[in-house]
């Protein structure tokens, strides 16, 4: 057998520009096979006798020695590094070897001499692996965890739609992708979520649900946005820090590499969590449960301030239309997300944006087909949705209230495209007069309706209403919305236009909308539904700020009598599903998963 020398084969003998002093850096690398664990000793012993090729004959290094426990200690490593760096002889001999190899690259080296050194090099490579396996210290154990299973902490904003999305994303990451996810809810919401999960619901084994306090007393109103934000910053921030420190400290001590937190996925409304992750040296992801357009408006805060449209607290200074991307719908400044919360001094737009800038990635529960103009103009926002349990033929997990199982059976008894579905999310509240007008408007349609009235709502219905509508109407405390919208009997969706509800209406059923936005990003979503996609109609208030029963009846009848709304809704459903099933959203989700797995 003939061994033919044909190297060393290197792409380049120089690797970039020098940015540190000559001879000042200790380079540590162990190849692609080295793993520091207790099983390595059983198969590496055969290589130990070859150490002389590297250390003895070339004399360009020193052996690391194990102690009586079979461990190479930190003092041993420190001592050998000091001796190698302090003795110029090692450097001079290494330079001689380098000169020989360089002459080979320049084709100035005798072939016979090269063959001799290649034979020695084969032993050198084997011994190099041996030495890496022997470098097992307590400090090394701390670093090994980065080579283990990636572990993400996911922290949703404490509202129903946000929790549902974060749990669905967590399920996707854990499902067949070997990623561990710890979902951190508030104590208040955690109790509700756990209560709503039945024995038949399947939560991925790698998804863990934990909770931290939100800073509010049990009797306080969680719909008070200002009070909730205050509690989050004062209490949840240090509690999240404690969770990360506990997980990382405990698991590093125990050497459990698959449990070390490697990144934090924070709801876009929880920017303070990005600051916590940054302080801990973790990778940071802003997860937008709103549309790409809404996310773009928040990322554009500095420009809005510099243009004088808002001040540093987000207060509107100019009442005008603003377009965030060339091919996106214009938004009136009074419809900015934060504007609907009122002029609260607790919203510091500069601080909010400074925390947003910490994010390594921005992901969004939308698709390129739904918002082509926005995602073309903002390539830093990655659409990887809509993420819906129904597209994976699973049940949604994370409800605050147990869904009423009677709703699906009730729908089964009605013809195709006959039922008006009415739901307004977990925040919307109606006054007494508006609640009555809604009930009477549904009665006037003469159509069967399924109306979700939250379990925490204490409203009485108009006199005789329940008797008059009888079995034509079903009122439930909470409903499995994705399953309902997928049901063929549902004809249209009277909605508050939250982003989750919007994409569920598009994807699950391809149903037209009657729009009733309440606050936040819901007015932006109404613009998409009515102006851009043309799959719904908006309700108009009267001079007293009330949407009357006649207006409700009229818009429901209009959207159902004009087939074009349904046709466009079905077309949009098809385009969006194409992106989910092997399209751009599918590719983006896989890319995001690989990014997480790279630690």
d(CA 303, CA 399): 37
| pLDDT at res. 13 | 40
Task: Give the other-Cβ count within 10 Å of 288's Cβ.
Answer: 26
Average pLDDT over residues 130-159: 59
Q: pLDDT-based confidence at 151, cuts 50/70/90?
A: very high
Span 173-201, pLDDT tens digits: 988 677 999 999 999 999 988 888 776 66
Nearest alpha-carbon partner for 309 in 293, 331, 342, 278: 331
Nearest alpha-carbon partner for 284 in 355, 232, 230: 355
**Between 109 and 215, the higher pLDDT residue:** 215
- If you write DSSP's letter for every residue of 567-586 in order, what string do you get? HHHHHHHHHHHHHHSSSHHH
Span 277-316, pLDDT tens digits: 999 999 999 999 999 999 999 999 999 999 999 988 888 9
CATH superfamily of 405-580: Glycogen Phosphorylase B; (3.40.50.2000)
Cite the DSSP H helix spans in 446-562. Answer: 465-469, 481-485, 499-504, 522-527, 549-561
Per the structure block, which two tokens stand in for 501?
A: 């509800």
The chain-wide mean pLDDT, for the chain, equals 80
> Could you give the C-alpha distances from 25 to 70, 84, 92, 266, 585, in angstroms and in order?
28, 13, 17, 36, 43
Q: pLDDT-based confidence at 149, cuts 50/70/90?
A: confident
Are 262 and 281 in contact by the 8 Å Cβ rule? The answer is no
Break the chain into its structural domains and give their ranges. Answer: 14-23+61-128, 151-291+355-390+582-597, 405-580
| pLDDT at res. 135 | 38
3-state secondary structure 249-282: HHHHHHCCHHHCCCEEEEECCCHHHHHHHHHCCC
Nearest alpha-carbon partner for 380 in 476, 298, 480, 488: 298
C-alpha angle 152-158-163 in degrees, rounded to nearest 5: 55
Are 172 and 387 in contact by the 8 Å Cβ rule? The answer is yes
**Between 388 and 11, the higher pLDDT residue:** 388
d(CA 516, CA 531): 15
| pLDDT at res. 72 | 79
Is the pLDDT at 323 greater than 70? The verdict is: yes
**Between 469 and 130, the higher pLDDT residue:** 469
Range 425-428 contact pairs with CB under 8 angstroms and sequence separation of 24 or more: 425/160, 425/161, 425/496, 425/498, 425/501, 425/518, 426/159, 426/160, 426/161, 426/400, 426/454, 427/159, 427/223, 427/518, 427/519, 428/496, 428/518
Average pLDDT over residues 543-572: 97
Q: Return the CATH fold of 151-291+355-390+582-597.
A: Rossmann fold (3.40.50)
d(CA 304, CA 201): 45
Percent of the chain past pLDDT 70, that is, above it, reads: 72
Average pLDDT over residues 368-386: 95
| pLDDT at res. 18 | 46
Cite the DSSP H helix spans in 478-535. Answer: 481-485, 499-504, 522-527
Q: pLDDT-based confidence at 157, cuts 50/70/90?
A: very high
Same fold, 151-291+355-390+582-597 and 405-580: yes
| pLDDT at res. 576 | 94
| pLDDT at res. 342 | 53
Place of tokens 């925040």: 427
Are 342 and 265 in contact by the 8 Å Cβ rule? The answer is no
Span 15-72, pLDDT tens digits: 344 445 556 666 777 654 444 544 443 333 333 443 444 445 557 777 777 765 556 7
Is the pLDDT at 139 greater than 50? The verdict is: no
Instruction: Kindly report which listed range (92-106, 357-371, 540-554, 576-590) carries the lowest average pLDDT score.
Output: 92-106
């Amino acid at each position: 057998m003939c061994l033919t020398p044909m190297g060393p084969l290197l792409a380049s003998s120089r690797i970039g520009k020098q940015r540190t002093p000559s001879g000042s850096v200790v380079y540590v690398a162990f190849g692609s096979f080295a793993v520091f664990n207790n099983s390595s000793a059983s198969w590496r012993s055969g290589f130990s006798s070859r150490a002389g090729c590297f250390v003895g004959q070339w004399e360009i290094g020193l052996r690391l020695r194990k102690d009586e426990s079979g461990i190479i200690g930190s003092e041993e490593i420190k001592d050998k590094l000091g001796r190698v760096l302090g003795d110029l002889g090692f450097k001079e001999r290494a330079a001689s070897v380098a000169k020989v190899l360089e002459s080979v690259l320049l084709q100035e080296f005798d072939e016979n001499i090269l063959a001799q050194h290649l034979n020695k090099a084969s032993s050198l490579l084997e011994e190099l692996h041996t030495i890496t396996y022997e470098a097992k210290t307590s400090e090394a154990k701390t670093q090994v965890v980065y080579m283990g299973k990636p572990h993400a902490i996911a922290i949703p904003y404490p509202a129903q739609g946000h929790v549902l999305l974060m749990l669905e994303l967590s399920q996707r990451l854990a499902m067949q992708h070997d990623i561990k996810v710890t979902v951190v809810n508030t104590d208040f919401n955690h109790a509700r979520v756990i209560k709503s999960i039945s024995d038949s619901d399947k939560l991925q084994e790698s998804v863990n649900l934990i909770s931290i306090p939100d800073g509010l007393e049990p009797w306080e109103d969680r719909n008070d946005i200002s009070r909730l934000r205050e509690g989050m910053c004062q209490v949840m921030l240090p509690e999240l820090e404690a969770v990360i420190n506990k997980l990382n400290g405990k698991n590093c001590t125990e050497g459990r590499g698959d449990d070390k937190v490697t990144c934090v996925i924070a709801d876009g409304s929880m920017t303070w969590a990005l600051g916590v992750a940054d302080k801990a040296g973790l990778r940071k992801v802003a997860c937008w449960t709103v549309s790409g357009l809404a996310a773009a408006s928040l990322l554009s805060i500095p420009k809005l301030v510099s243009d004088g449209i808002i001040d540093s607290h987000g207060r509107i200074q100019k009442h005008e239309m603003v377009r965030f991307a060339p091919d996106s719908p214009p938004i009136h400044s009074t419809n900015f997300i934060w504007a609907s919360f009122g002029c609260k001094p607790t919203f510091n737009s500069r601080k909010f944006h400074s925390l947003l800038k910490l994010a390594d990635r921005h992901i969004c529960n939308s698709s390129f087909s739904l918002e082509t103009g926005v995602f073309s103009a903002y390539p830093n926002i990655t659409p990887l949705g809509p993420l819906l349990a129904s597209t994976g033929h699973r049940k949604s997990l994370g409800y605050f209230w147990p869904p009423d199982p009677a709703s699906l059976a009730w729908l089964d008894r009605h013809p195709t495209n006959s039922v008006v579905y009415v739901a307004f999310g977990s925040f919307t509240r109606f006054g007494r007069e508006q609640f009555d007008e809604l009930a009477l408007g549904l009665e006037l349609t003469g159509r069967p309706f399924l109306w979700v009235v939250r379990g925490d709502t204490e409203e009485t219905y108009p006199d005789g209403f329940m008797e008059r509508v009888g079995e034509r109407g079903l009122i439930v405390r909470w409903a499995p919305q994705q399953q309902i919208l997928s049901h063929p009997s549902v004809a249209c969706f009277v909605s508050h236009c939250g982003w989750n509800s919007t994409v569920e209406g598009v994807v699950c059923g391809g149903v037209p909308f009657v729009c009733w936005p309440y606050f936040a990003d819901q007015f932006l979503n109404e613009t998409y539904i009515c102006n851009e996609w043309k799959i719904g109609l908006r309700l108009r208030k009267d001079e007293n700020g009330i949407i009357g029963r006649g207006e409700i009846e009229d818009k429901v009848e209009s959207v159902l009598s004009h087939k074009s709304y349904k046709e466009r809704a079905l077309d949009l459903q098809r385009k969006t599903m194409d992106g989910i099933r092997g399209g751009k959203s599918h590719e983006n989700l896989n890319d995001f998963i690989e990014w997480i797995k790279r630690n």
